[in-house]
Amino acid sequence: NAGVTQTPKFRILKIGQSMTLQCAQDMNHNYMYWYRQDPGMGLKLIYYSVGAGITDKGEVPNGYNVSRSTTEDFPLRLELAAPSQTSVYFCASSSPRVTGNTEAFFGQGTRLTVV
Amino acid sequence: DAKTTQPNSMESNEEEPVHLPCNHSTISGTDYIHWYRQLPSQGPEYVIHGLTSNVNNRMASLAIAEDRKSSTLILHRATLRDAAVYYCILSRIDNYGQNFVFGPGTRLSVLP
């Protein structure tokens, strides 16, 4: 199993450019998440999805969009990049069971710099 | 979302046990206590989780207070590789998903 795979690992964007951060998981998890982590801080939830076709906003959704057309993929789109979006982005997945909570699996992150 | 409180940083000597505390006084009955750690330049890694009873796995032990308002992650013999930021998180499942709310965590330094 590859787990959660994020691409690219690094990217530099100019202000106003757009890009899509890719995230794929091969564990058949129904729940997927996007977080951002600013230097020295904890992770903040951007968007999440509880299954294909269902997405919802997290704590810091402004400036981002997501889609979930398949169980495996959960891309994050930045439409007009701003310096405030310079951060490390983590994708995660989990599959909570009816009878109990379960752990989340995280990707290795995408380090994005907007200049 | 229920919040957790952890010390900003802790130090340990190599091969000694480490007790990382976490306070969660507003925990609800359906909240599970999760611990994750983040090594430098990596994504968070699951360590352990539990609801009411103490839990053990190959990485660590989780001791949960009887009133569930606090918990302690125990690393039995710290190694240099255990130097990381440790996050204590309360997670529940509701109609909106399974939430994981990260605080700033505890930065653990392991001295040789």
Buried/exposed code over B39-62 (b: 16+ C-beta within 10 A; e: otherwise): eeeebbebbbbbeeeebeeeebbb
On the CB side of B50, CA atoms within 13 Å amount to 19
Pair of tokens at residue B34: 């999760």
Asked whether A76 and A21 are in contact (CB, 8 A), the reply is: yes
Q: Which residue of A has its CA nearest to B90?
A: A101
Q: Residue A99 pLDDT more than 90?
A: no
Signed CA dihedral, B45, A20, A26, A96: sign only: positive
Least confident of A97-106, B24-33, B67-76: A97-106
Pair of tokens at residue B18: 């480490």
- Is B51 within 8 Å of A101 when comparing Cβ atoms? yes
On the CB side of A20, CA atoms within 13 Å amount to 9
Say which residue, B93 or B49, is predicted with more confidence: B49
- Is A100 within 8 Å of B51 when comparing Cβ atoms? yes
* Residue A33 burial (C-beta neighbours within 10 Å; 0-12, 13-18, 19+): buried
Provide, rounded to the nearest whole percent, the portion of chain B with pLDDT above 70: 96
pLDDT value at residue A100: 63
Q: Residue B94 pLDDT more than 80?
A: no
Say whether residue B17 is in contact with chain A using an 8 A CB cutoff.
no
Q: What's the distance, CA B3 to chain centroid?
A: 13
**CA-to-CA dists, residue A108 to A31, A84, B105, angstroms:** 18, 21, 18
Give the number of other Cβ atoms within 10 Å of residue A56's Cβ.
12
Provide, rounded to the nearest whole percent, the portion of chain B with pLDDT above 90: 76
Mutate to test the interface with A, among B87, B92, B100, B106 (most CBs of A within 10 A): B100
Q: CB pairs below 8 Å between A and B: how many?
A: 64
Asked whether A111 and A21 are in contact (CB, 8 A), the reply is: no
pLDDT value at residue B2: 60
- Mean pLDDT score, A8-29: 96
pLDDT value at residue A2: 77
Minimal Cβ distance to B87: which of A42, A94, A109: A42
Question: How many Å apart are CA A79 and CA A76, to the nearest integer?
Answer: 10
Pair of tokens at residue B7: 């010390």
Q: Which residue of A has its CA nearest to B35?
A: A103
Tell me the pLDDT of chain A averaged across its residues: 92
